[in-house]
Amino acid sequence: MRTSLTFADVACVRGGRLLFEDIGFALGPGDAALVSGPNGAGKSSLIRIAAGLLAPAAGRVAGEGARALLAESAALDPELGVAAALRFWARIDGRAEAVMPALEAVGLGELAQVPVRLLSTGQRRRAALARVVASGAPVWLLDEPANGLDAASVRMLEDLIAGHRREGGIALVATHLPIALPDAVAVTL
């Protein structure tokens, strides 16, 4: 998998306030970065910059390969069954067939027909993760992926990220909860 994600001297200003500056890292196939810092430091903002949803105040973001974002909102139709809601997005990428394996991977295979609105908090988080898995994107941008997950689900998340890296993918992970990310670049805000 040919992929990369590079931040060079990146700064972020929000609401007229400088959140961070001079952030730089270079990730290649199999690499991960762990973004940490106190509440309000700008972890979510950094992930949004990586996703192209927010412009850096200074510096450059570059890379190769599609990026998939896991953010606070899963953007899944609450009235649809989980599989159907995921297929809405997967079809856009021509990857409808990737939905069921992704649901199995996050342990939601048996709930595929259950409407999104009936899922528990942790199950909804796992559904959002399935959307990232199903995307097939080599670059995963995960904002607080462990929020709402029980211990077993955090291990599942760690295994999914490890598997993605073994296949040559990249993971940029912002979290205030401990997640095992071996040999990850530390990005401290």
Q: Which residues bind ligand ATP (CB under 6 A)?
A: 14-15, 19, 37, 39-45, 176
85, with CB counted inside 10 A (0-12, 13-18, 19+), is buried
Between 38 and 182, name the residue whose CB sits nearer to ligand ATP: 38
Between 118 and 186, name the residue whose CB sits nearer to ligand ATP: 186
Helix residue ranges, H only, the chain? 43-51, 82-92, 99-105, 121-135, 151-166
- In the numeric block, which tokens belong to residue 171? 């993971």
Question: To the nearest whole angstrom, how small is the minimum distance from the Cβ of residue 119 to ligand ATP?
Answer: 22
Question: To the nearest whole angstrom, how small is the minimum distance from the Cβ of residue 176 to ligand ATP?
Answer: 6
Question: To the nearest whole angstrom, how small is the minimum distance from the Cβ of residue 159 to ligand ATP?
Answer: 25
Q: Tell me the three state secondary structure of residue 91.
A: helix
Between 12 and 86, name the residue whose CB sits nearer to ligand ATP: 12
Q: Cα–Cα distance between 33 and 184 in angstroms, integer?
A: 5
φ/ψ of residue 27, rounded to 5: -115, 135
Q: Is 40 left (phi over 0), alpha (psi -120 to 50) or beta?
A: left
Between 48 and 124, name the residue whose CB sits nearer to ligand ATP: 48
CA 53 to chain CA centroid, nearest Å: 14
Question: To the nearest whole angstrom, how small is the minimum distance from the Cβ of residue 45 to ligand ATP?
Answer: 3
Q: Cα–Cα distance between 41 and 88 in angstroms, integer?
A: 34
Between 89 and 140, name the residue whose CB sits nearer to ligand ATP: 140
Question: To the nearest whole angstrom, how small is the minimum distance from the Cβ of residue 72 to ligand ATP?
Answer: 9
